Amino acid sequence: MITPQQRDHFDKFGYVVVGPLIDGAQVMALRNAFAERVAVWAQQVGTSVNEYLEVVSQWTNVWEDNPVFRAQLHHRRAAGIAAELLECDRVRVFHDHLIVKPPHGGSTIPWHRDLPNWPIREPRAVSCWLSMDEASADSGALRFMPGTYREPITPSIDFLNESKEWGARESEAVVVQVQPGHALFHHCLGWHMSPPNNSATWRRAYITIYLDATCTFDPTRSSWHPMTSRVSVAPGEVFNDDVFPILGGRKSAT
């Protein structure tokens, strides 16, 4: 699924770029699916697409009512890579995530780690950040603090009222640029952030969050997360397959 060099990079830094994961035609299909969906969403709230995108830039569970995103969510190679990085047999989806920064738009997403915001007990999850456009330094590519996924778990960050200060370590931050159709896999405990899009091009990404299929539900970690209400198992049990389906693994990937 990945080369030994890519495996070593992930183990050392907590992230790795793999690609191309999908071809140009598949990238265009995702872009078109986004355009169709955003037109519907804007119409539902009675506003124009441009005005809508000035306010809304993130959507979850888009796979549930869109065949193009559903097909991408079930991408067998992506699931196989996630399972290989997590060193598990099978992975399940926590949720998908469509994040868009329009030209000369989007806000700063501050430094944060993902797991403290999720109702998941074990730190055994990776995100597949699939770029639908060129994610460059100017357009708001993610910045990572390498190796921080190995540091102890910390509380969640209040995005509106808190910020992480790195001091002298700030210079260690790495801009991870991603080409269209390529995917950035990153560990759930790696510190990362993204600035606004200062370019004249889009920065669209489709993210699938993969869990080791044996991960268990922990509502005490993040009771407010919108997916918490869709869990039908008791704390400490593995997630219910109807909402969090098994997507594949190392043995089923092609």
For residues 1-11, give the mean pLDDT.
96
Band (pLDDT 50/70/90 cuts) for residue 157 is: confident
- Residue ranges in 45-177 assigned as alpha helix (H): 49-55, 67-73, 76-86
Q: How many CA atoms lie within 13 A of 126 on its CB side?
A: 28
Tokens of 142: 């993610």
DSSP string spanning 56-94? --EEE-GGGG-HHHHHHHT-HHHHHHHHHHHT-SEEEEE
| Total residue length of the chain | 254
Q: Which of 86, 115, 105, 107 is nearest to 2 (CA)?
A: 86
Element (H, E) at 16: strand 15-18
User: What is the C-alpha separation between 90 and 76, in angstroms, rounded?
Assistant: 11
Residue-wise pLDDT tens digits, 98-143: 999 999 999 899 999 999 999 999 999 999 999 999 999 999 999 9
- State the pLDDT at residue 163: 80
In a domain, 21, yes or no: yes
Output the domain CATH number for residue 60: 2.60.120.620
Report pLDDT digits (tens) over 195-252. Answer: 999 999 999 999 999 999 999 999 999 899 999 999 999 999 999 999 999 999 976 4
Report the pLDDT value the prediction gives residue 254, as an integer from 0 to 100. Answer: 39
pLDDT score at 253 = 43
pLDDT at 162: 75
pLDDT at 93 over 90: yes
Peptide bond into 4 cis (omega under 30): no
- pLDDT tens figures, 175-201: 999 999 999 999 999 999 999 999 999
The residue behind tokens 């989007």 is 106
* Mean pLDDT for the chain overall: 95
- ∠ CA 44-30-35 to the nearest 5 degrees? 30
49 inside domain: yes
Closest CA to 165 of 173, 176, 175: 173
What mean pLDDT is predicted for residues 20-36? 97
Show the domain range for 135. Answer: 4-150+168-249
The pLDDT score that the predictor gives to residue 156 is: 87
Q: How many domains does the chain have?
A: 1
In a domain, 234, yes or no: yes
Q: What pLDDT is recorded for position 15?
A: 98
56 falls within a domain: yes
CA 188-190-194 angle, 5° bins: 105
Per-residue model confidence (pLDDT) at position 251: 63
- Give the pLDDT of residue 240: 98
Domain-located, residue 160:
no
